Amino acid sequence: MMSVISTRLRAKILHALAHPNRIRILETIRRGLVCSCEIGPELDLEQSNLSRHIKILVDSGILVPQREGVRINYRVADEDIYKLIDLSGEVVRSAAERSIREPES
């Protein structure tokens, strides 16, 4: 039986991923260490909006900040997070295919 702590930690991670901008941020960081100063312009996000989303990802343990002088770079704590993101994409594709084959009556 799964422990309550494990269930809560999984819920915390899934909650952190439950916003399109946070998934976009992680996709940007997928290529490697990235400065927040590069993420905002690339994703067309205001600094305050970007900071809020990054804080959620850091607080959930998904992102790790690394200071280099005045720059703060981010990397994922565990590359396996991308397996979860990729799997969610597969689930969405499967659901879309089912809805095409079996339209609601």
Q: Are 84 and 26 in contact (CB under 8 A)?
A: no
Considering the four listed CATH numbers 1.10.1750.10, 1.10.3080.10, 1.10.10.10, 1.10.1040.10, the one that applies to the domain covering 9-101 is 1.10.10.10
User: Which residue do the tokens 């770079």 mark?
Assistant: 73
Query: For the segment 81-104, what is each residue's pLDDT rounded down to a tens digit?
Result: 999 999 999 999 998 888 888 766
Helices and strands counted in the chain (H then E): 5, 3
Phi, psi (degrees; rounded to nearest 5) at 13: -65, -45
Q: For residue 24, how far is the Cα from the chain centroid?
A: 7
What is the predicted pLDDT for the residue at 56?
A: 97
Pairing of strands 63-68, 34-35: unpaired
How many Å apart are CA 65 and CA 74, to the nearest integer? 5
> Is the model's pTM score more than 0.95?
no
Taking only the tens of pLDDT, the chain with its 105 residues reads: 568 889 999 999 999 999 999 999 999 999 999 999 999 999 999 999 999 999 999 999 999 999 999 999 999 999 999 999 999 999 999 988 888 887 665
Looking at the chain, which runs of residues are DSSP E strands?
Answer: 34-35, 63-68, 71-76
Q: What is the pLDDT of residue 105?
A: 56
